[in-house]
Amino acid sequence: MLRRSRLRVLLVTPLLLTSLPVAGAGAPHGHTSVASGGLVERPFSPRAVEREREKEEVRRRLTEAGNGTYIGEMLAERDSALARWPDRRGHPLTVWVQPQADIPDWRSAYADGVRRAVLTWDSLDLPVHFAFASDSAKADVHVTFIDHFDEPISGRTKWARDDDWWITNADIVLAVHHRTGGALDDDAMHAMALHELGHLLGLDHTEDPTSIMAPRVRVRELSAADRATVRLLYTLPPGGVR
């Protein structure tokens, strides 16, 4: 899927220079000519200064560790902002996977594939960990199944964030059937779960077709770039980097 590049237009306004009377040269005695005006703005707050230093540090780390990742594509997609979950080493995200569904062609292997996908991301030892919940009411994340989407997609992740770009909650929906009617096989469902869990963690699409986060998923496992990108993301604070 090709992305339309954003074109920024810089408007340059001509500067018109005019002659200004010089004080004391032809001006009436006792009068002062005002040559320019100015605006006194508030000084930067300590928090603003600290935030700018944080952004500079993030930009430095992106330059040093960005090779082999697609985090640059993510920044372009989100107008130079990153989103992720807060560190939760001692308090894992609880995931409830729908254990059964009254959908034609649905089978328990789908739920098993989702759980394996959760364990795959969890094995990366990120600052956010996962645990399975048997009670949907007590889960942070819900993974549910539907028959199909009306759009040409097989999965969808919805997450919310606060003003500081920390992800606060998320849910995943996976389709049993393609829009054209065929059912996903077990490997395809596992791959789609890997893809959507990447979104849940804060990853965006990449144009690299060998990545699980490509818009059209053709692989069945995480790539080195997937692992490197999510690991770098979870060493950085969320929010804008410009």
Average pLDDT over residues 191-201: 98
131 pLDDT band (50/70/90 cuts)? Answer: very high
Give the domains, in start order, of the chain with CATH numbers.
86-222 (3.40.390.10)
194 pLDDT band (50/70/90 cuts)? Answer: very high
Which of these ranges, 36-45, 104-113, 131-140, 152-161, has the smallest mean pLDDT?
36-45
* More confident position, 64 or 187: 187
| pLDDT at residue 241, rounded to an integer | 81
For 74-101, the pLDDT digits (tens) are 998 888 899 999 998 889 999 999 999 9
For 9-54, the pLDDT digits (tens) are 333 333 333 333 334 444 444 544 555 556 666 666 776 666 667 7
| pLDDT at residue 20, rounded to an integer | 35
DSSP states of the chain: -PPPPP------PPPPP---PPTTSSSPTT---------PPPPPPHHHHHHHHHHHHHHHHHHHH-TTS-HHHHHHHTTSEE-BPPPEEEEEEEEEE-----STT--HHHHHHHHHHHHHHHTT--SEEEEE-S-GGG-SEEEEEES--SSS-SEEEEEEE-TT-BEEEEEEEEESB-TTSPBPPHHHHHHHHHHHHHHHHT----S-TTSTTSSS---SS--HHHHHHHHHHTTS-SEE--
Nearest-angstrom CA–CA distance, 47 and 181: 54
162 has a pLDDT exceeding 80: yes
State the chain's mean pLDDT as an integer.
84
**Cβ(148)–Cβ(65) below 8 Å:** no
| pLDDT at residue 25, rounded to an integer | 44
